[in-house]
Structure 1
Amino acid sequence: MGRFVLFSVGLVLVTLAIDGYVYLHWRRFAQSRPALRWTLTLYRLLLWIMPLALPGYFLLFRWWEVEPKLARALFFGSWAFYYVPKVPIALVLLVKDGMQQLVRLAMRLRSRPAPLESSTTQTNTARRMSRAEFLQKLGWSAAALPFLAVGNGVLRTRYDFTVHRVSLPVPDLPRALEGLTIGQISDLHAGSFFDDRPAHEAVDLLLALKPDLIVITGDYVNHEADELPLILPALQKLKAELGVWGCLGNHDHYAHTPDVVRRLHEQTPLRLLINAHHTFRIDGARLHLIGTDNTGFRQRFADLPRALAGLEADPNGEEFRLLLAHDPSFWDLEVRPGYPDIDLMLCGHTHGGQIGIELGPLRWGLARLVYERWAGLYVEPAPTPRGRQYLYVNRGVGTVGPPLRLGIRPEITLLTLHRA
């Protein structure tokens, strides 16, 4: 409860500061324009209501049980649409105000008596005022762009699936595993879909890649097992030569859903590895597929020693160990300190933050504030003959919280193993 209070107070103060700052600038612009003055009354009302809306919703309602789910999505979507665009607007206004202060400071340092204004000077002053008026209108018109971007993120981008093709050059990879392909999806969050079409589209894209092995790294639902029917028809289509495998995520434990999730998944080709492993023998090599329950986000259900119990190492070293674990924090918590022989860990959980930017080498998402490894491929040194371990963090298919993706698109991954 204490953490919730601190989070709520911090959220209220931050949103109120951002919104209040934008309001002060909008008031200066709107007061001199009769056609816009009515917006000030509405803005003042929202200024005090909206910061309390999200904490109040969490406090007063069992928000994971709200029906219909469309109402929940509309609430989160409206909240995101109101606040997210205000952040870049506030940053631009802050830069503008800072530059103005610097200019004023420079003029004071150069303080000279003002000359008498001639008619030419008055004309130039009028022109400058006209130019300033034009720039003000242009600036507030441009302020609509973040709202358009967020609206696009709510309505379209969150289902704009992107295929990430990743090549893994593995030292001393068994020759029998050269070119092996692994298709990964994660964080379906069935409750974030209005119907079953997005799940079908994601699965169809994955199947079109024809991976040898398909894995799903947790979070099949948001908070209720009865969300599963939205994705089950799509999951029933999954097939791969080495099968379809998965692990559980933190959301699969909410509202005591794991047993129901396990039972419903019996209706699909998906096989869950919950602190267990399965070994494939491929032309003399061994591919060990290991799956844990979730550890992370205040949960500790993973039992890696149990998952590895009975696993037979290949006497000739002709093996590859692939771990499915939902939360990337498990990598530093247990895998790297105690299990350097895990060659590759696949996970999800972060959604890449859902909001961020990925343009070539320029990569940043909101998840980066919490997770050091938040999206994509990470290569770490390891004290083993191979000398390295790999971690891949999938950006997820569904959404959690605001039904919004902005700059971080939902992901379908195809990883290909190569001998380095």
Structure 2
Amino acid sequence: MPLSPFSLLIALGAVLGHLYLFRRLVWNLTSRRGPRIVAALVLGFMTLVLIARRYLQRTLPEAPGDVVELVSYSWMGVALCLVLALAGVDLGRAVLALGRRLRPAPAAPAVDADRRRFLSQATAGGALALGGGLAGYGSWRAFTAPEVTEVVVRIPKLPRSLDGFSIVQLTDLHVGPFIQRRFMDELVRRANALKPDLVAITGDMVDGTVPRLGGFVAALGNLHARYGSFFVTGNHDYSSGAEDWVAHLGSLGIPSLRNRHVRIGDAGGTFDLVGVDDWHGGRRLGQKGYDLDLALAGRDPERAAVLLAHQPANFKVAAERGVDLQISGHTHGGQLFPMTALIGLSWEHSAGHYRHGDSHIYVSRGCGFWGPPMRLGSPPELVKLVLTS
């Protein structure tokens, strides 16, 4: 099966990262052949596991596949933190060396081999401590309660009777080997504490099948909202069996909006809640996916419209079609540095609140995580959107 550009990037990063770790933490610190061979074998094995992880997960039975995912993604996060720490130390040393060259000083006495080795070991030890600290903090931040972000969104077409209508967004949960029932129960408890009028589950709910994860996702059946909870698919839901998950959520009383809309409100006033399938999920698997035209078909353009779409794609088109607010996720806000600094290169609307004319989009950083069980520079969030006329 051909590798995607993202998978090729992961493979290249795995090779280069492990070579760098071997050079800095093994080759530079010991001249003994035995430790070098052992380290090369271990790092080489982990490189192959990272490159082949998706293939192994698809071909191995469920339990060994979960072990591969837990080990590979955990190591990926730790290795990334070690590379960042070592690179930071090396950059600092390079800056100091450049400063000495630009400002010549009297010649210093030569440093003997034992002292050089001690300095290398000291800097490597400091980098290891820093990398371990980053990994520990990132893991703690990923599994602790998400921050609550409350945003007021003005929608002039919203009926006055619905002024103050609240939508709590759950997105990018990624229920799987790492995120299970205990995490979900706590998330549901916190969502209910916000007393939402409606709950929007905007995709990437799972990484696995209904038989494997249905018991964990069943926690969503305990959500409480005046007008109910609604789901739209994400790309990971497609690869996990979207049809089965839609049926499972239906059994929990959570309808899915698959390129359609429903009216929300009462006799005093209503708005349209519109949902679309994932922007890329169907296309990649040869299935029907995102269809905004179908989702908007037959609605009254004079009525306010809120669009649930997993990816923050096509927002400007949706805005020009009369959508007042789009609620999305998918980006994780980058999740881990340095992706947190680079995510804006891939997405115009990467995380937070944006506007186009009178229309709004909110892109959540997500409640869970994908890949390494860590968050650095992009903490998880639970979003409460308050609509006002």
TM over 0.5: yes
Question: Secondary structure of 2:224's match?
Answer: coil
AA at the equivalent of 1:84: L
- Describe the SS at the equivalent of 2:226: coil
Tell me, yes or no, if the aligned pair for 2:202 and 2:310 is still in contact at 8 Å.
yes
**Structure 2 residue 299 is matched with structure 1 residue 305:** no
Matched, 1:294 2:278: yes
1:392 alignment counterpart = 362
Going from structure 1 to structure 2, the CA distance change for 1:328 and 1:7 (only over 3 Å counts) comes to closer
Structure 1 position 60, deviation (Å): 5.3
Match of 1:55 among 27, 40, 51: 51
> Secondary structure of 1:72's match?
helix
1:166 Cα deviation after fit: 1.4
Matching residue's letter, 1:237: N
- 1:376-391 counterparts in 2 under 5 A? 376-381=352-357, 388-391=358-361
Tell me if structure 1 keeps the 8 A contact 2:77–2:372. no
Q: Does 1:347 align with 2:317?
A: no
Mark the CA change 1:60 to 1:76 in structure 2 (over 3 Å): closer, same or farther. Answer: closer
Rounded to whole Å, the distance in 1 between the matches of 2:380 and 2:215 is 18
Q: Tell me the CA shift for residue 375 of structure 1.
A: 1.7
Amino acid at match of 1:353: G
TM-score (norm 1): 0.78
Separation in structure 2 between the aligned mates of residue 165 and residue 76 of structure 1, nearest angstrom: 35
1:197 is displaced (CA, Å) by 0.7
Rounded Cα–Cα distance in structure 2 between residues aligned with 1:75 and 1:141: 25
Tell me which structure has the larger Cα radius of gyration. 1
Query: 2:154 & 2:87 partners in 1: Cα distance?
Result: 42
For residues 52 and 250 of structure 2, the distance between their equivalents in structure 1, rounded to whole angstroms, comes to 39
CA distance in structure 2 between the aligned counterparts of 1:70 and 1:2, rounded to whole angstroms: 23
Residue identity in the other structure for 1:184? Q
Give the structure 2 partner of residue 31 of structure 1: 30
Deviations 1:324-373 (A, max 9, x none): 111112325x424x52x10001112222232148xxxxx93564353232
Aligned pair count? Answer: 384
Question: Which residue does 2:14 correspond to in 1?
Answer: 15
The 1:352/1:69 distance shift into structure 2, 3 A limit, reads: farther
Aligned equivalent of 1:263: 247
Calculate percent identity across the aligned residue pairs.
Answer: 31
1:384 alignment partner in structure 2: none
Give the superposition deviation at 1:49: 3.3
Distance 1:23 1:190, change over 3 A: closer
The 1:370/1:201 distance shift into structure 2, 3 A limit, reads same
- Residue 81 of structure 1 contacts residue 151 of structure 1 at CA under 8 Å; is this kept in 2? no
**Could you report, residue by residue, the CA deviation over 1:175-194 in whole angstroms, capped at 9, with x for unpaired residues?**
22321111110122222445
Residue pair 1:290, 1:308 contacting (<8 A) in 2 also: yes
The equivalent of 1:329 in structure 2 is 313
- TM-score of the superposition, structure 2-length normalised? 0.84
Name the SS for the 2:63 alignment partner: coil
Q: What SS does structure 2 have at the residue aligned with 1:245?
A: strand
CA distances 1:263-312 after superposition (whole Å, capped 9, x unpaired): 21222131211111111344643211111111225456122222122213
1:272 maps to which residue?
256
How big is the shift at 1:207?
A: 0.2
Q: Which residue pairs with 1:75 in the alignment?
A: 71
Cα displacement (A) at 1:171: 4.5
Deviation at 1:135, TM superposition (A): 9.2
Distance in 1 (CA, whole Å) between partners of 2:183 and 2:215 is 9
- Distance in structure 1 (CA, Å) of the matches to 2:59 and 2:78: 20
- Please give the root-mean-square deviation of Cα atoms over the aligned residues, in Å: 3.5
Q: How far apart are the structure 1 equivalents of 2:255 and 2:26?
A: 59
Give the conservation status (yes or no) of the 8 Å contact 1:213–1:240.
Answer: yes
Q: Is the 8 A contact 1:16 1:47 kept in 2?
A: no
SS for the counterpart of 1:272 is coil
Aligned-partner residue type, residue 335 of structure 1: A
CA offsets per residue over residues 60-85 of structure 1, 9 Å max, x none?
A: 55268642554133223333144211
Q: 1:204: Cα distance to partner?
A: 0.5
Q: Does 1:364 align with 2:340?
A: yes
Q: What SS does the corresponding residue of 1:54 show, helix, strand or coil?
A: helix
1:415 is displaced (CA, Å) by 0.8
Report how far residue 403 of structure 1 moved: 2.9
Whether the 8 Å contact between 1:182 and 1:215 is mirrored in structure 2 is yes
| Partner Cα separation in structure 2 for residue 166 and residue 60 of structure 1 | 42
Is the Cα contact below 8 Å between 1:187 and 1:351 reproduced in 2?
yes
1:375 aligns with 2:357: no
* Aligned residue number for residue 408 of structure 1: 378
- Which residue is equivalent to 1:216? 201
Specify the SS of the correspondent of 1:31.
coil
